[in-house]
Amino acid sequence: MKITSVKFEGSKIQSNQLFLSNFPEYAFIGRSNVGKSSLINWITNRKKLAKVSSTPGRTQFVNPFLINHKWYLIDLPGYGYSSICKNKKEKTQKLMMDYIFYRKNLVNLFLLIDSRIFMQKSDIHFIKKLKIFQIPFCIVFTKTDKIHPRILNKNIDFCKKEFEKILFAMPKYFKVSIKNRSGRDKIIQYIQNINEIFKRKN
């Protein structure tokens, strides 16, 4: 699948502003500074689509992008540490949760995890919520070029053990490196496969 068009449909700052859609939606989320914005820009082949920042918590709204007039890529606020004030953080987290747990056309959530470190308590807490609400999701290990392959495999094995405690099995996962340009094609193909299933069902 080639991405030929990307249309930003405006930041949604409140739950009652979430748009109506008949298209499948793919949301991207992770702890702050996990590389989400860079990954979204790389996937869509747009350098400045999502704002890249070294400041934790810059994404505060639900940001939908209509891709090829056929599906949505959703840029969600991160969880975990944030530099924004407590009041704003609580509103941001509520907006994010309202989208994830009550969105009918959310067909897959891409959960980003920094491959250089073990899963954090915030990751595990969030995954447990996904299990309770039965949200379909997969894992994207980011920044794999910044770690030795042996350590990368060790960290992934640790994640597998943690997932076995929560879900009994590791979900689908991808290893990506923007620098080495690896993993993008597999994610795009994964989205295309789900799109085809969604189209047959609807």
Q: Over the stretch 84-124, which tens digit does the pLDDT of each residue have?
A: 555 667 787 888 888 999 888 999 999 999 999 888 888 99
Confidence (pLDDT) at 85:
54
Confidence (pLDDT) at 59:
66
Average pLDDT in the 146-171 region?
A: 92
Residue that has been written with the tokens 């640790």 in this structure: 158
How far apart CA 50 and CA 65 sit, in angstroms, is 10
What is the 8-class DSSP label of residue 35? Answer: S
In this structure, which long-range contacts are made by residues 146-153, counting pairs with CB atoms below 8 Å and at least 24 apart in sequence? 146/115, 146/116, 147/115, 147/116, 151/116, 152/115
Burial of 184 (0-12, 13-18, 19+ CB in 10 A): middle
Confidence (pLDDT) at 61:
86
How far apart CA 3 and CA 50 sit, in angstroms, is 16
In contact, 8 and 63? CB cutoff 8 Å:
yes
Average pLDDT along the chain: 88
Confidence (pLDDT) at 87:
64
What letters, b where the CB count within 10 A reaches 16 and e where it falls short, cover 50-70? beeeeebbbbbbbbbbbbeee
User: What band does 193 get if pLDDT is binned at 50, 70 and 90?
Assistant: very high
User: What band does 52 get if pLDDT is binned at 50, 70 and 90?
Assistant: low
Q: How crowded is residue 6: how many other Cβ atoms within 10 Å of its Cβ?
A: 16
How far apart CA 69 and CA 59 sit, in angstroms, is 24
Average pLDDT in the 28-32 region?
A: 90
- Identify each DSSP E strand in the chain by its residue range: 6-8, 25-30, 63-67, 71-75, 106-114, 137-142, 173-175
Average pLDDT in the 54-64 region?
A: 67
- Is the pLDDT higher at 54 or at 88? 88
Confidence (pLDDT) at 31:
87
How far apart CA 23 and CA 20 sit, in angstroms, is 9
pLDDT score of 186 more than 90: yes
- The closest of 89, 159, 148, 77 to 124, measured between CA atoms, is 159
Confidence (pLDDT) at 80:
60
Average pLDDT in the 34-53 region?
A: 84
